Structure 1
Amino acid sequence: MEEYKSLKVEEMEEKSSVYRVILNRPSQRNALSADFFQEFPKAIRCLDQNPNVSVIILTAAGDHFCSGIDINTLSSIKSESESESSDRGRGGERLRRRILELQEAVTALEQCRKPVIVGIHGACVGGGIDLITACDIRYSTCDAFFSVKEVDLAITADLGTLQRLPSIVGFGNAMDLALTARRFSAAEAKDLGLLSRVFDTKLELDQHLATIAQEMAAKSPLAVMGTKAVLLKTRDMSMEQGLDYVATWNSAMLLSDDLKEALSAFLHKRKPIFAKL
């Protein structure tokens, strides 16, 4: 497994098809560094292409999930855009390309065919919200706290929160959280629909992540991949468009060996065994 500066990637247990991606800058509260934006999409794409990987768990080392983008990274981006050209238009175009590169690192989570489950503890602020809203399922400890922090730093959030959060918590709630930058608790995040479940301790959270990931990994990889793909693709479609899209998807994917294996396992009262993706 490749070594990273800002991350750790590991198999959950021997011969498991569940892998963990761990934000690994605990002394900096896992602030997102320049290294992270290079390494994270690479790690996610490698896991996506690995046939031995069925499910990815995103978590973090130390006391906090993520404190947002590293201030040094922000300063570096600002300096680059200002120093390389006195032409405001060219500097702006260069900055736009840099922002798009940062966005791609987060969007890699959605583009990954495998489901990504995130476990949150401690602070989840700014860029941390960008990350978790791009994940497929979100859980946290009861002492976790959240903030869409960018307006307090004189920034318009630009890595995906403003695009993804409204469809998760509702437009009005997203407006409230993004415009006020207020801190909100895990209990409120659960009430808003940002979290699926909240756990009393980190140990309970980690145990649940492992259990749910293993259960998911035992399912048909084609069905899991298709469910994620259709949900993401059709969230902004009309009902008619969405139904048409899933009909087209299943016309290509439905009649698979996975379906034969699932039916055979059901008839013979055994657990199905599916081929790797």
Structure 2
Amino acid sequence: MDPTQYTGDFHRASEPSTGVLLLEFNRQVAILPRPRADRTSRAPVNAFHDAQVLWQEMHRIVDDVSNDPDVRCIVLSSALENAFTAGLDVTKSELSSGKTFLDPARRATSLRAHLLKFQAAITSLSRARQPVVCALFGSSVGLAIDIASACDIRVCASNVKFGIFEVNVGLAADIGTLQRFPKIIGNDSKARELAMIGRPFGAKEAEEIGFVSEVAQGGRQEVIELALQKAKMIASRSPIAVIGTKEVMNHSRDHSVDDGLQYVATWNMAMLQSEDTPKAMGSALKRTPVTFDPIAKAKL
């Protein structure tokens, strides 16, 4: 694995252990408050903005990583100390001004295309071949919920501040939260409460409702260490088995139980012929360690 190929203008990448890629948002730009003489600029919070460069770069990197046979698991977090991401930078959003040079129909068509591209960027995390472990801490609001909901596993630090805040700025969350979050927590009433009121919630409540699987006491360093522990264990398993598990669980999430059973039967009629199956079984019986070959890189 060469992590440098996944480092961009707004992301940094590293390989903390074999097969694990740590990908961190790294937008070192602060959101400026509304102009007022008595207010100063705020610390960087990895805000996404309408220029699209940050989320388009993430989409490209995740798609490239998905085809890297040396990457067995991705840990997604932030290089900043105070925030995973504070979501959309409303100070740079065209929606905040209400100004447009297009007639309503053309404006609507353009906005829909923009939203679909944005959705595809976040969905790339769900569609990545490898599992994605999301390590959340500090300010993790708005778009952070969209991003985390598209990941496979979510852990957070005790200092995290969550919030589905889109309703507070006059819009319905449109990049994935309203579709994924209710399914994740399995409580439609609670999901609607959080999305319709737009109140903050912390690590304790997030764990109680099932949004995160574990809480690390502390902040950025502690939660990334926790995420890396889980990623290292995933990376040690058969890549065929791990990829298959993600694929089948994603399919089952959006289909009936019967459809899911039919799908996994079709999937495993091929994948059970992998050399990984007897190797893993033999290792379990003998209680000896085992290594698995990487999956070949797809040739386009």
After TM superposition, the structure 1 stretch with the greater mean CA deviation from structure 2, 22-31 or 202-211, is 202-211
Q: TM-score, normalised by structure 1?
A: 0.93
The aligned residue for residue 38 of structure 2 is none
CA shift in 2, pair 1:111/1:79, >3 Å: farther
Whether the aligned pair in 2 keeps the contact of 1:109 and 1:134 (CA below 8 Å) is yes
Structure 1 residue runs of 5 or longer lacking an equivalent are none
The aligned residue for residue 179 of structure 1 is 196
Following the alignment from structure 1 to structure 2, what is the Cα–Cα distance between the partners of residues 261 and 78?
57
After TM superposition, the structure 1 stretch with the greater mean CA deviation from structure 2, 123-132 or 237-246, is 237-246
SS at match of 1:256: coil
**Higher share in helix:** 1
The aligned residue for residue 22 of structure 2 is 20
Following the alignment from structure 1 to structure 2, what is the Cα–Cα distance between the partners of residues 113 and 174?
28
Following the alignment from structure 1 to structure 2, what is the Cα–Cα distance between the partners of residues 260 and 102?
42
1:195 maps to 2:199 = no
Following the alignment from structure 2 to structure 1, what is the Cα–Cα distance between the partners of residues 259 and 65?
31
Partner letter of residue 122 of structure 2?
A: V
SS at match of 2:287: coil
- Deviation, structure 1 residue 69: 1.2
Following the alignment from structure 2 to structure 1, what is the Cα–Cα distance between the partners of residues 128 and 98?
30
The aligned residue for residue 48 of structure 2 is 32
Whether the aligned pair in 1 keeps the contact of 2:25 and 2:79 (CA below 8 Å) is yes
1:258 to 252, 276, 292: 276
Following the alignment from structure 2 to structure 1, what is the Cα–Cα distance between the partners of residues 145 and 256?
27
The aligned residue for residue 99 of structure 1 is 115
Which runs of 4 or more aligned residues in structure 1 lie more than 4 Å from their structure 2 counterparts after TM superposition? Answer: 77-81
Quote the sequence identity (%): 33
Following the alignment from structure 1 to structure 2, what is the Cα–Cα distance between the partners of residues 269 and 225?
24
Deviations 1:102-141 (A, max 9, x none): 1111000001010000111101110011000101101111
Aligned CA RMSD, in angstroms, stands at 1.8
1:276 maps to 2:294 = yes
Following the alignment from structure 1 to structure 2, what is the Cα–Cα distance between the partners of residues 82 and 245?
47
Partner letter of residue 65 of structure 1?
A: F
The aligned residue for residue 40 of structure 2 is none
1:162 maps to 2:164 = no
Following the alignment from structure 1 to structure 2, what is the Cα–Cα distance between the partners of residues 189 and 127?
16
Q: TM-score, normalised by structure 2?
A: 0.86
The aligned residue for residue 111 of structure 1 is 127
- Deviation, structure 1 residue 73: 4.7
Following the alignment from structure 2 to structure 1, what is the Cα–Cα distance between the partners of residues 234 and 147?
21
Whether the aligned pair in 2 keeps the contact of 1:8 and 1:24 (CA below 8 Å) is yes
Following the alignment from structure 1 to structure 2, what is the Cα–Cα distance between the partners of residues 138 and 104?
20
Partner letter of residue 12 of structure 1?
A: P
Structure 2 residue runs of 5 or longer lacking an equivalent are 29-42, 296-300
Partner letter of residue 85 of structure 2?
A: C
1:125 maps to 2:127 = no
Deviations 1:132-161 (A, max 9, x none): 010110111111111000011111110000
After TM superposition, the structure 1 stretch with the greater mean CA deviation from structure 2, 237-246 or 179-188, is 237-246
1:205 maps to 2:207 = no
- Deviation, structure 1 residue 267: 3.8
- Deviation, structure 1 residue 208: 1.8
Whether the aligned pair in 2 keeps the contact of 1:81 and 1:91 (CA below 8 Å) is no
Partner letter of residue 127 of structure 1?
A: L
